[in-house]
């Protein structure tokens, strides 16, 4: 790989095509991943490079797609199954949570299920209540499933590459609002380790812990806080929610004494709750304020762009909340 | 020839065709809510032919490509277009959009953005009809792609087992996104599956709306009497899957051929041949329809955005408290400090 | 209803049969609910009382059972669908979370989905990884779904009765370890309101917030704390997780300054996280210690009785934890 | 008559029958882990007949009533019984139990407590076999009740579409818990569904294990060559659904009649009739099997409970950190104060 400017989408494709070149057991399967090239174009042209036996267009059968990936992973393949929208995870939850996640344990450690389930979520396309959700909370609450959610072009590439090395099932959730984002892949920069959070911005006053597209909202908000309101916020990109890297977060929160978690998923019972609870448990004596949750509203997503945009955290809301913390 | 229903069937199909063309226009004007707009051009006979067999009080669910079906059941195109634009005056106050239009008054239990998602509801509606002795049939409309979803078979099995007044209508436009039906199944004779579960089942060519109406009527009457049914209507998706798809996966020759299966054109020809309407009559009718549908665009564009406050409404019944907005909660939490 | 000693199981049945007598639109449907009488016997004999058109044995088709209940609820029936084990919720998540939960909202308030999905969960029968889970976390994280989890005989009766009056879909999760528990139903005692938590034990030192079977573990633990360790713990039974009654909890925690949440669901990303985050947010200035989460381990459940029992909170663990809080 | 496989088929069936009887005994002695023990008595010909058609390297998944199938594929009854007792020396170290026995060495991709849950895995195993050119077939065993699960149809459709070396075996013991097959479907000719999806499909009477073996061999050879197949084996569940179920929903007369379809007895009769084995030979064989299976109970009972520390093992790969136990976390959290 040479240093290159690319997009989140193409970085994902690069990771897939490199993995398929390096390892014949890697296959891609899902709805429209072949001839169509993927609903969001991530698998474009892979079928001409690797053929229809390794880039497999499936019927619209989400449950069996995941189930077939489980069986393939148990018998020597490294399947990358694609779920076109994370909103369709409901159809697959039995195969994902009762089978993929538990097989190693139930069978006493005889075998793992080294599969990757690629999917995408989030708002931004007026796609309505069944095509705009952020359902990582279901996955994080399921022991046995790894969970990666790249926010940057670099991580789209490196996390997917690393997911394909994991011995256990990985749910890999992209954000539909990031596919066209540009960034640079530099082979000379050592990638962050799998399972490690990254501090994308330092800041002594407040620690913002987030992931996926909200990383960019948090960074924009932190800039504004710094320039307009004199608040210096650190921004931590979790990158993976399982494993969860608390070691990176702890010292920052202990130092700043204030933390905010930002998630596009609905607030109640979601990822933001886990992060807030965890930070509080581990850093209680250092906290000046309760850990603040800025998360998706406890409602479905509307097709109306106005309602859609305001159903999830915006940079404005992050700034506004931080200002209240220091009011 | 007197009492022919063809003029009405033609008019209904023309209204669907023109409405869908206007939806495309709304998108091009940048005034639709998003681009997930699935046009049913080429499938008019399925919508109109099957709906001709339905009666007041019957209920139905549709898929993501359901505008035409609902129009054929009597929808107000203004409120449909407004919903597609995400406006407050739309059928769902701008919350649903193209893929979630519903209207309880007309028995429309809802369009669905989940392939197959609306199918089992008709089993429940069939239970209600039986319980209430209402004589109603409930019809699930879905695409060929939904035959990949297990819930279709679970639902057909229940309907057959319980002899419910239920009908399954598969609009086989040959494609699920970029996948041709023979790339999604080894046996594209879809009605054979329904037969194996014990339903009355047929496939009909969608070119001629009268054929569709006839097949649908026969099966629907049977369903009403307790023999649940399945009807596949063969047609062709004239354009891309959604507004932005240019169908690069289809050969031009195939598309040209496929678009020859045009039920609107066919009905027009038949009307003229049979002397039921003249070319001039038809042009006049088409113009009236065009005007009506132009009006729908105007209505939609003029409509207001939903109010921000409506965001928290209707998650639960109005008798219940609304969910607390994040801002309100944060104010309370941070007021402590 | 006359005052009577009964069981959790029979109290549930009584609520069902009364509702079916009072309202012809109430129907029961699910696997083995009719002739068999329910896998745990809750619907025993209902079929002879109300006939097979109102007590409907279904094929083993969880997704379509829930989907059919949705359609029935939209067209004038009041279906009570039974999911034999909450572990099978994976098959139904699309119908539950994308349909039942969102229909009112997506359709702009035109119609609700007044259905009840009865199911049961929890450990205690060596039933293994796919028949012993506590999956209320998935439900609580889904806006639009109400969630009730009775701990007592009284609540088995009253909450189910009330669930059948709700205008919105209710997921009603019983605990397999409670069916044979005895208690008294007294018609002269005014039932607690739907959506209200109950303080089952007063205590000035510590507030234990819990629900379902863990209520009994918490009560047993509280007795032991009081008698052996001089710790007075209040025990709050949430009864419903949606609605969540915070008004009952707040003053207790403000007074005690210490709170523990106890849940059988796995810890990470689950109900315990939400409760801990919420209590912390609302009572931060009053807390002496971080809110402590005593929850299911982040692992699947084993069939081995020894491992099974130790995978979820025990009274001993609750006592041990409380003692550490005061050490 | 020389080279008859019937003696071996009989022995395998007898081992299944006796093993299951011992499982019942383990429960009665209070030494099983729980009561969710589903005995396959009456279904021996399905397990043994189909497994006779399998080869080394083939893989399979089973349902909750899968002891017999795995025994027929060569399982060690000691480790099975120990697993059923929840012991560390069981196949899954006491984590799985009766409904989750698996053994990668023998191609057993796992029993499943979710009805239908193990079915799609064979599609994936079929993809692997094709990719690796291993020549292996993957077989899904499930009950008639699983025909209610949509995932069966999704899986059969994929197998047929991709011409995978996959076989679906439905052990139709007439009941899913208390529900007779005709109370669960309008058309109990289950193979017709598979045909409608494009698979080679048959139903065979399970009374005679040789008939089952023959049908299975024909279909399995076809599957190996790229024609995926479905076989329903008709039999009768002799006893209750699980150990505590006394089948009050079945008439005694029906049970008496059903238990006449006894493949073990039938094979015994055939062996004697054909002069392949004498009554004395058979009694001796039965006694040897009984002794072996008694030994399994002893092995299971003598086995150790799993260590508490093993609880956190094998959630993830051993190269990864184990999940932090609640106690350890609480100690850390409360150490702060
Ligand atoms: C469960 C589910 N899977 C996938 C999709 C994405 N998707 C939307 S429409 C579609 C194709 C559906 O094809 P078909 O059922 O034939 O309907 P058509 O679009 O041809 O009208 C797909 C795959 C979805 N919306 N829901
Ligand atoms: C998805 C799912 N639904 C329901 C159950 C409960 N259950 C266990 S076995 C069974 C009956 C299965 O019948 P069948 O498939 O015919 O197998 P059999 O018990 O007759 O061998 C049921 C309903 C389950 N385990 N999984
Ligand atoms: Mg189609
Ligand atoms: Mg059976």
The 10s digit of each residue's pLDDT in A85-102 is: 999 999 999 999 999 999
Are C89 and C83 within 8 A, CB to CB?
A: yes
What is d(CA A233, CA A256) in angstroms, rounded to the nearest whole number?
Answer: 9
Which atom belonging to ligand 2 lies closest to the Cα atom of A94? 1
User: Does residue B13 register a pLDDT over 90?
Assistant: yes
Of A59, A64, A75, the CB nearest to D128: A75
pLDDT at D335: 87
CB atoms within 10 A of CB C177: 18
Instruction: Please choose, from the candidates A30, A38, A23, the residue with its C-alpha nearest in 3D space to the C-alpha of residue A114.
Output: A23
Mean pLDDT of B42-61: 98
Residue B337: predicted pLDDT: 55
How many domains are there within chain B?
2
Give the best residue of D243, D330, D335 to mutate against chain C (max C CB count within 10 A).
D330
CB contact under 8 A, A59 and B306: no
Task: Work out which ligand 1 atom sits closest to the CA atom of B146.
Answer: 15
Q: Give the domain ranges of chain A.
A: 4-185, 198-325
Task: Nearest by CB to D91, from A53, A103, A108: name it.
Answer: A108
What is the per-residue pLDDT across D7-38, written as a single tens digit (0 to 9) for each?
999 999 999 999 999 999 999 999 999 999 99
With a 6 Å cutoff on the Cβ, whether C10 touches ligand 2 is no
Residue B2 confidence class, pLDDT cut points 50, 70, 90: low
Q: What is the domain range of residue B323?
A: 310-337
Six token digits for residue A200:
């994308």
pLDDT confidence of residue D204: 98
The 3-state DSSP class for residue B162 equals helix
Q: Do B315 and A298 touch (CB under 8 A)?
A: yes
Interface of C with A in 218-247 (CB under 8 A): 242, 244
- B132 Cβ partners below 8 Å, 6+ apart? C76
Q: Which residues pair with B168 in a beta bridge?
A: B140, B230
Closest-approach residue (CA) in chain B for C80: B124
Which residues neighbour D148 within 8 Å (Cβ) at sequence distance 6 or greater? B154, B157, C58, C59, C60, C61, D115, D116, D176, D184, D185
Distances (CA, A) of B267 to B43, B72, B208, B223, D124: 13, 16, 7, 27, 48
Q: How far apart are CA C234 and CA C209, in angstroms?
A: 8
**Pick from B147, B183, B186: CB nearest D198:** B186
Which residue matches tokens 């989460």? Answer: C293
Mean pLDDT of C126-155: 98
State the smallest CA–CA distance between residue C168 and chain B in angstroms: 6
- C-alpha to C-alpha distances, C269 to A215, B160, B324, C170, C273, nearest whole angstrom: 20, 42, 21, 21, 6
The answer to whether A62 is a known catalytic residue is yes
Contact D185 B151 (CB under 8 A): no
The encoded tokens of residue B105 equal 């008054």
**Pocket of ligand 1 from Cβ distances under 6 Å:** A 31, 60, 62, 84, 88; B 38, 63-65, 113-115, 143-146, 173, 175-177, 237, 241
Residue C62 reports pLDDT greater than 60 = yes
d(C-alpha A18, C-alpha A7), whole Å: 16
> In angstroms, what separates the C-alpha of A308 from chain C's closest C-alpha?
12
Q: How far is the CA of D146 from the centre of ligand 2 (A)?
A: 7
Residue numbers of D between 185 and 214 with CB closer than 8 Å to C:
185
Distance (Å) from the alpha carbon of A17 to chain C's nearest alpha carbon: 32
Torsion of CA B62, B66, B68, B74, to 10 degrees: 50
What pLDDT is recorded for position D150? 98
- Mapped onto helix, strand or coil, the DSSP state of residue C165 is coil
Confidence (pLDDT) at D1:
52
Distances (CA, A) of B43 to B161, C168, C303: 31, 36, 54
Closest CB from C35, C129, C297 relative to D249: C35
Instruction: State whether B291 and B323 are in the same domain.
Output: no
- Condensed to tens digits (0 to 9), the pLDDT of residues C42-60 reads 999 999 999 999 999 999 9
Q: Which of C5, C31, C49, C131 is catalytic?
A: C131
CA A91 to ligand 1 centroid distance, Å: 14
pLDDT tens by residue, A200-221: 999 999 999 999 999 999 999 9
- In percent, the amount of chain C with pLDDT more than 70 equals 100
For D332, the token pair is 């850390």
* Separation of alpha carbons C295 and D323, rounded Å: 13
Identify whether B1 is part of a domain. no
The conformational region for residue A125 under phi > 0 = left, psi -120 to 50 = alpha, else beta, is alpha
Q: Which two tokens stand for residue A23?
A: 């390892």
The answer to whether residue B333 is domain-embedded is: yes
How far apart CA D108 and CA D67 sit, in angstroms, is 11
> Do residues B58 and B138 both lie within one domain?
yes
Say which of C67, C107, C112 has its CB closest to residue B317: C112
**What confidence category does residue D337 fall into, taking pLDDT thresholds of 50, 70 and 90?**
low
Residues B274 and B197 in one domain: yes
CA distances from D20 to B310, C224, D289, D294 (A): 62, 45, 12, 11
Is a pLDDT exceeding 80 seen at residue A238? yes
Q: What CA–CA distance (Å, rounded) separates B262 from C248?
A: 65
Pick the CATH number of C198-325 from 3.40.50.1360, 3.40.50.920, 1.10.10.60, 3.10.20.30: 3.40.50.920
Enumerate the H helices of A184-293 as residue ranges.
214-224, 246-256, 271-283
Asked if D327 and D203 sit in the same domain, the reply is no
pLDDT at C182 over 60: yes
Could C71 and B92 be called an inter-chain contact, meaning their C-beta atoms sit closer than 8 Å? Answer: no
Same domain, B287 and B179: yes
Q: Which residues contact A263 (CB under 8 A, 6 or more apart)?
A: A134, A210, A211, A214, A270, A271, A272, A275, A293, A294, A295, A296, A313
CA distance C223 to chain A (A): 26
Q: Which residue, A274, A82, A293, A273, is CA-closest to A173?
A: A82
| Contact call for B92 and C53, based on CB within 8 A | no
Q: Which of A131, A158, A216, A217 is catalytic?
A: A131
Whether residues D105 and D222 share a domain: the answer is yes
Beta-carbon separation of C289 and D337 below 8 A: yes
pLDDT confidence of residue D2: 59
Question: CA D12, CA D46: separation in Å to the nearest integer?
Answer: 11
What average pLDDT does range A288-310 have in this prediction? 97
Q: Kindly determine whether residue C300 and residue A242, on different chains, have CB atoms separated by under 8 Å.
A: no
Q: Which residues lie across from D205 on neighbouring strands?
A: D234
So what's the pLDDT on residue C187? Answer: 82
Distance CA D337, CA D335 (A): 6
Mean pLDDT over A57-71 rounds to 99
Which listed residue (C18, C31, C53, C62) is catalytic?
C62
B155 in a structural domain = yes
Cβ-Cβ contacts under 8 Å for A194 (sequence gap 6 or more): A159, A162, A163, A165, A166, A240, A243
Rounded to the nearest angstrom, the distance between the alpha carbon of B153 and the centre of ligand 1 is 17
Q: Return the residue matching tokens 């023998």.
A: D106
Share of chain C above pLDDT 90, in %: 98
* Substitution site in C32, C36, C59, C84 for ligand 2 pocket (most atoms within 8 Å of beta carbon): C84
Co-location of B256 and B333 in the same domain: no
Whether residue B5 contacts residue B263, with contact meaning beta carbons closer than 8 Å, is answered with: no
- Tens digit of pLDDT for each residue in B276-334? 999 999 999 999 999 999 999 999 999 999 999 999 999 999 999 999 999 999 999 99
CATH number of the domain to which B260 belongs: 3.40.50.970
3-state DSSP assignment of residue A235:
strand
Question: Does residue D160 belong to any structural domain of this protein?
Answer: yes
Q: Which residues on neighbouring strands pair with residue B170, listed in sequence order?
A: B142, B232
Q: Is C62 a catalytic residue?
A: yes
Which of chain C's residues have a Cβ under 8 Å away from the Cβ of A298? 143
| A174 confidence band (pLDDT: 50, 70, 90) | very high
Cα angle, residue D188 at apex, residues D184 and D189 outer, rounded to 5°: 155
D97 lines ligand 2 (CB under 6 A): no
Interchain pair A143, C270: CB under 8 A: no
| Residue B93 domain flag | yes
As its CATH architecture, domain C4-185 has 3-Layer(aba) Sandwich (3.40)
Q: Angle at the Cα of B200 (from B198 to B201), degrees rounded to 5?
A: 110
Neighbours of C158 (CB within 10 A): 23
For residue B336, pLDDT over 90 is answered with no
Mean of the pLDDT values across residues B163-191?
Answer: 98
C-chain CB neighbours of A290 within 8 Å are 280-281, 284
CB of D173 closer than 6 angstroms to any ligand 2 atom: yes
Kindly report, residue by residue over C220-238, the tens digit of the pLDDT.
999 999 999 999 999 999 9
Using CB atoms, list chains with 3+ pairs below 8 Å to chain D: A, B, C
Q: Residues D52, D189: one domain?
A: yes
D187: chain C residues, CB-CB within 8 Å: none
Query: Between C63, C73, C243, which is nearest B154 by CB?
Result: C63
Give me the torsion for CA of B150, B154, B160, B162, rounded to 10°.
-170
Tell me whether residues A57 and B323 touch, CB distance under 8 A: no
Averaged pLDDT for residues D86-109: 98
Question: What are φ and ψ of residue A254, in 5° steps?
Answer: -60, -35
pLDDT of residue B81: 98
pLDDT at C273: 98
Note whether B317 and B270 are same-domain residues: no
The residue-averaged pLDDT of B128-151 equals 98
Looking at residue C167, its pLDDT comes to 98
User: Which whole-number Å values give the CA distances from B76 to B49, B50, B73, B132, in the listed order?
Assistant: 19, 19, 10, 28
Chain A interface mutation, best of B26, B32, B33, highest count of A Cβ atoms under 10 Å: B33
Digit-coded pLDDT (tens) for B214-249: 999 999 999 999 999 999 999 999 999 998 899 999
Using alpha carbons, select from B224, B93, B137, A88 the residue that is nearest to residue C71.
B137
Q: What are phi and psi of C304, to 5 degrees?
A: -55, 120
pLDDT at position B134: 98
CA D152 – ligand 4 centroid, Å:
15
Do B18 and B62 have their domain in common? yes
Tell me the percentage of chain D whose pLDDT exceeds 70: 99
Question: Roughly what angle, to the nearest 10 degrees, separates helices B150-162 and D150-162?
Answer: 130
Cα D107 to middle of ligand 4, angstroms: 24
Statement to judge: residues B87 and B181 lie in one domain: yes
Residue D67 CA to ligand 4 centre (angstroms): 15
Q: Which residues contact A285 (CB under 8 A, 6 or more apart)?
A: D336, D337
Task: Specify whether D175 is located in the same domain as D203.
Answer: yes
What pLDDT score does B4 carry? Answer: 93
Beta-carbon neighbour count of residue C320 at 10 Å?
15
Q: Residue range C93-108: average pLDDT?
A: 98
Q: Which ligand has an atom closest to residue D66 CA?
A: 2
Instruction: State the pLDDT confidence band at B148, using cuts at 50, 70 and 90.
Output: very high
């Amino acid at each position: 790989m040479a240093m290159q400017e690319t997009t989140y989408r193409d970085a994902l494709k690069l990771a897939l095509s490199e993995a398929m070149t390096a390892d014949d057991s890697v296959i891609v399967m899902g709805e429209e991943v072949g001839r169509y090239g993927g609903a969001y174009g991530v698998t474009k042209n892979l079928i001409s490079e690797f053929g229809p036996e390794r880039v497999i267009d499936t019927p619209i059968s989400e449950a069996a797609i995941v189930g077939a990936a489980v069986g393939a992973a148990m018998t020597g393949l490294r399947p990358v199954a694609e779920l076109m929208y994370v909103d369709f995870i409901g159809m697959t939850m039995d195969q994902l949570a009762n089978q993929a996640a538990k097989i190693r344990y139930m069978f006493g450690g005889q075998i793992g299920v080294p599969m990757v389930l690629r999917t995408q979520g989030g708002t931004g396309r007026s796609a309505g209540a069944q095509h705009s959700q952020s359902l990582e909370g279901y996955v994080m609450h399921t022991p046995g499933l790894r969970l990666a959610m790249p926010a940057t072009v670099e991580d789209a590439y490196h996390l997917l590459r690393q997911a394909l090395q994991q011995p256990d099932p990985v749910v890999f959730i992209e954000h539909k609002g990031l596919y066209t984002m540009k960034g640079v892949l530099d082979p000379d920069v050592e990638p962050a380790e799998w399972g490690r959070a990254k501090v994308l911005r330092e800041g002594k006053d407040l620690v913002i812990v987030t992931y996926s597209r909200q990383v960019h909202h948090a960074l924009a908000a932190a800039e504004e806080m710094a320039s307009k309101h004199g608040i210096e916020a650190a921004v931590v990109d979790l990158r993976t929610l399982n494993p969860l890297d608390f070691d990176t977060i702890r010292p920052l929160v202990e130092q700043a004494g204030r933390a905010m978690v930002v998630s596009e998923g609905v607030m109640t019972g979601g990822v933001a709750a886990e992060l807030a609870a965890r930070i509080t448990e581990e850093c209680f004596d250092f906290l000046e304020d309760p850990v603040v949750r800025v998360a998706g509203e406890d409602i479905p997503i509307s097709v109306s762009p106005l309602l859609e945009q305001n159903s999830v955290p915006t940079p404005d809301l992050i700034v506004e909340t931080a200002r209240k913390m220091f009011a | 020839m007197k009492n022919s229903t063809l003029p009405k069937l033609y008019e209904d199909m023309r209204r669907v065709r023109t409405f869908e063309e206007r939806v495309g226009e709304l998108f091009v004007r940048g005034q639709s809510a998003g681009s997930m707009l699935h046009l049913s051009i080429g499938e008019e006979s399925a919508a109109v032919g099957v709906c001709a067999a339905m009666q007041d009080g019957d209920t139905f669910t549709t898929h993501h490509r359901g505008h035409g079906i609902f129009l054929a059941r009597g929808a107000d195109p203004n409120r449909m277009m407004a919903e597609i634009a995400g406006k407050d005056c739309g059928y769902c106050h701008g919350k649903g959009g193209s893929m979630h239009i519903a209207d309880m008054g007309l028995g429309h239990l809802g369009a669905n953005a989940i392939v197959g998602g609306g199918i089992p509801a008709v089993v429940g509606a069939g239970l209600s009809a039986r319980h209430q002795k209402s004589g109603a049939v409930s019809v699930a409309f879905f695409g060929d792609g939904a035959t990949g979803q297990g819930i279709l078979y679970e639902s057909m099995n229940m309907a057959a087992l319980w002899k419910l007044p239920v009908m399954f209508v598969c609009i086989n436009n040959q494609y699920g996104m970029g996948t041709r039906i023979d790339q999604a199944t080894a046996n594209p004779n879809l009605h054979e599956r329904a037969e194996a579960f014990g339903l009355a089942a047929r496939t009909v060519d969608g070119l001629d709306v009268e054929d569709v109406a006839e097949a649908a009527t026969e099966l629907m009457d049977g369903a009403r009497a307790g023999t649940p049914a399945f009807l596949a209507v063969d047609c062709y998706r004239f354009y891309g899957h959604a507004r932005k798809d240019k169908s690069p996966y289809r050969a031009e020759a195939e598309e040209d051929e496929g678009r020859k299966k045009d039920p609107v054109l066919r009905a027009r020809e038949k009307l003229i041949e049979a002397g039921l309407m003249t070319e001039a009559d038809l042009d006049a009718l088409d113009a009236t329809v065009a005007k009506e549908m132009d009006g729908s665009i105007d209505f939609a564009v003029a409509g207001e955005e939903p109010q921000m406050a409506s965001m928290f409404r209707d998650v639960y019944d109005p008798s219940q408290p609304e969910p607390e907005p994040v801002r309100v909660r944060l104010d309370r939490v941070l007021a402590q400090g």
